[in-house]
Structures are given as C-alpha cells and as structure tokens.
Amino acid sequence: MAPTVLHLRSETKPLEHRSALTPTTTAALIKAGYVVNVERSPERIFDDSEFEAVGATLVPEGSWEEVPKEHIIIGLKELEEKEFPLKHVHVQFAHCYKQQAGWENVLARFPRGGGTLLDLEFLVDERGRRVAAFGFHAGFAGAALALEVWAHQLTHPASTPFPGVASYPNEDALIANVQKALATGAQAAGRQPRVIVIGALGRCGSGAVDALRKAGVPEENILKWDMAETAKGGPFKEITDSDIFVNCIYLTSKIPNFVNLESLQVPDRKLSVVCDVSADTTSPFTPVPIYTVATTFDKPTVPVDGLASGPAVSVISIDHLPSLLPREASEAFSHDLLPSLLTLNDWQNSPVWARAKKLFDEKVATLPASALEK
C-alpha cells in the first residue's frame, strides 16, 4: 500500500506565522511512514530548512491546489475566499460552523468538489474535549495586549490609536515589553489595573491569568470567574467595575450577555479595555455584542461606538492571537495534535476524525441549495 501523503500548505492569512505541523511533529510522522510535503513559506515561524532537515520534501507555495486528490491538505487558518470547488480532505480551522458571515460560501466549496473538511476547532475526544487547541496561548497573548492597551490609553491622547503589533521571538520578550508598559500605565493611574477574566478555569483563561501574573498584576486585582460566577446571568457590574475584561468563553449557543451597550452606560464605569479572545465577531452567540469589527495585528483595537459618558472603550478582537508567540504556540498545539495526525492514514475509521466527518456532513446538510449550485 502506498504511504499516505500529507501536504502542509503555506498560510495566506496576513501576519499568520504559526504552523499546524512543526519540524518535531513532521519528523514523528515521517518515522511512522507518512510522506510529508511542506510548501515553502515566507511567513511561517519555522524555516523551510528545518522541515527539510527532518526529511520533509519542500514544494512550491500554493501547490496544494494541483496535487492528487488522495493527498491530505494540512493547514491552520481559513483558505482564501475563492470560488473553485475543493476536492481534497482538508484539516484546518475553517470558521464556518457557527453561522459566521459568509459561512455558506466557505462550506459549500467542499461538497461541490467532493472534498471534506475536518475542522480542527471541533476535533474532540470521546468526552467532547478538544484534542488540541491554541487556547492557552490565545489567552496569554490577549491578556498581555490588553495590559499594553490600558497603559497606552493612560499615556497618550485619546486621538492616538494603539499601534500595530508584531510576533515576538519568545515569551520572555513579550513579557518584558508588557512589564515596561504596565509600569508606565500604573504610574500614570496611580494604581494597578483591575482585570476580570471570564472562563478562568479553561485553557484560554489559564493562559490569560498566567500572563497577568507574569506581567506583575497583583493577585488581588485579578478576578477569576468561570461557570459558577456567571450562572446568575449577565450583564455583570463586576465587568464595568474593572479596568480590563478578558473574555475567554467559547460558546456554541446563546447565553445572557456578559456586557452590552446598555450596561456600559453606567456613570461610574471604569472599564476601558475589552479583549474578546474568542473573536466570534459576527456570531449570534457572542456574549460581548459591543462591536462588529474584527481587529488585526496592524490595527489591534476598535472603539465601542455610542457611549454617552465615561472613558472610551477599546476592543481587541484578533482571531489569531497565538501568532503573537508563534513558535511556542505551534509547538504546543502540534504536539497535542500528533496522536490524531498519526491516524490519518485510516482517518475514516479513526474515532476522532470520524466525529469530525459526521459534524461536517451535518453542517453540509444545512446548506441552502443556492450555495451548492455555484
């Protein structure tokens, strides 16, 4: 039997430096009998030579479109918005299962070409827990940026936007930068910020709390909320009484909003920074319906419109926050994904991939006929 060929595509999302495969996991897959083709990439945090050194074959950027149908395409973020049908099995985050804007067009490309989407966001074990996620590093990066934005607000005119950000070579470099900003902000405010993290017991929330601690926020200034604290239903005054709100909740159904425009109108509001790590900007399930624009590394924040009084509120809604620490985030994610990747040679009979295929079929069944006819 011919070996299974995995094709790691180059990411096309601007400033996306992470990778679903790393040289370490690529070496493990090759040792297990897989052929791994790696597209050359100008953005990936790992050099092409690192993959070549462990036995991968380097292929041209964007060549996945023309490879045989039997090759499995491995990626991270969503594909570029194009119309041609997709014939391969794709392993990636597609962001089209929660009724995001344009989801029908994204999803319909797969059945139109006879392809399959195995969405990494919904790759779960028998208990329903995700087998691999970037949550920890998303929360870590989001909380770090939120502290920097808070300090920027205190030390710059309101008309000066928070500047663009770029990936850091490692966690130490990021934390050093945040500590410097926090010291400046705390001096201007005469105090340390109060930060509320909702979802603090999960992967994402744990990362956020870890970043806050390493940056130097006092423990008593970190409100760590989870299901017990939110059970009564929002909006919550504890959010508007805090300087920073970091939302680390992942939702697939609607719950009462944690915060909304009405709750922001209170006269004693302190809140000025919201980091919505989930960044489900267009999802009807968002518990943070105070903005409609996804932000980017180039423009990390968006203001909340319609506030009658109180400080301006800046929202961070970057949907690839872990790319702020691309090497560490990729290594952790790919390590956790590896056991599942090692079963791709018989993915139809692998429980974890079979669950992902079942969900794909269910979502395809909801597509309008018009999306399938393009």
- Tell whether the model's pLDDT for residue 373 goes beyond 90: no
CB 169 within 8 A of CB 177: no
Token output for 202: 């999960």
Is pLDDT larger for residue 105 or for residue 183? 183
Our answer to whether residue 77 is catalytic in this structure is yes
Q: Is 18 annotated as a binding residue?
A: no
- Tell whether the model's pLDDT for residue 250 goes beyond 70: yes
| Angle at 333 (CA atoms; ends 328, 335), nearest 5 degrees | 95
Q: Is 282 annotated as a binding residue?
A: no
| Gap between the Cα atoms of 239 and 13, Å rounded | 32
Which of 303, 327, 283, 356 minimizes the C-alpha distance to 96? 283
Tens of pLDDT, residues 65-112: 999 999 999 999 999 989 899 999 999 999 888 778 788 999 999 999
What is residue 374's predicted lDDT score, i.e. its pLDDT? 67
Our answer to whether residue 31 is catalytic in this structure is no
φ, ψ for residue 123 (rounded to 5)? -85, 105
Of 13, 17, 88, 95, catalytic: 95
- Tell whether the model's pLDDT for residue 359 goes beyond 80: yes
CB 338 within 8 A of CB 352: no
Q: Residue 1 — very low, low, confident or very high, per pLDDT cuts 50/70/90?
A: confident
Of 7, 13, 17, 77, catalytic: 77
CB 143 within 8 A of CB 246: yes
Q: What SS3 string covers 97-165?
A: CCCCCCHHHHHHHHHHHCCEEEEHHHCECCCCCECCCCHHHHHHHHHHHHHHHHHHHHHCCCCCCCCCC
| Gap between the Cα atoms of 135 and 279, Å rounded | 12
Chain centre distance of CA 324? 11
Helix or strand (DSSP H, E) at 342 = none
As separate numbers, helices (DSSP H) first and strands (DSSP E) second, the chain gives: 11, 12
CB 363 within 8 A of CB 107: yes
Q: Is 175 annotated as a binding residue?
A: no
Tens of pLDDT, residues 289-309: 999 999 999 999 999 999 988
Q: Is 203 annotated as a binding residue?
A: yes
Helix, strand, coil percentages (3-state) for the chain, rounded to 5, are 40, 15, 50
- pTM, two decimal places: 0.81
| Gap between the Cα atoms of 283 and 286, Å rounded | 6
Chain centre distance of CA 347? 25
What is residue 173's predicted lDDT score, i.e. its pLDDT? 96
Beta bridge partners of 7: 37, 73
Chain centre distance of CA 258? 20
Tens of pLDDT, residues 269-288: 999 999 999 887 777 888 99
Which of 232, 287, 246, 241 minimizes the C-alpha distance to 264? 241
Q: Is 128 annotated as a binding residue?
A: no
Q: Is 320 annotated as a binding residue?
A: yes
* Residue 338: partners with Cβ closer than 8 Å, 6 or more residues away: 25, 28, 29
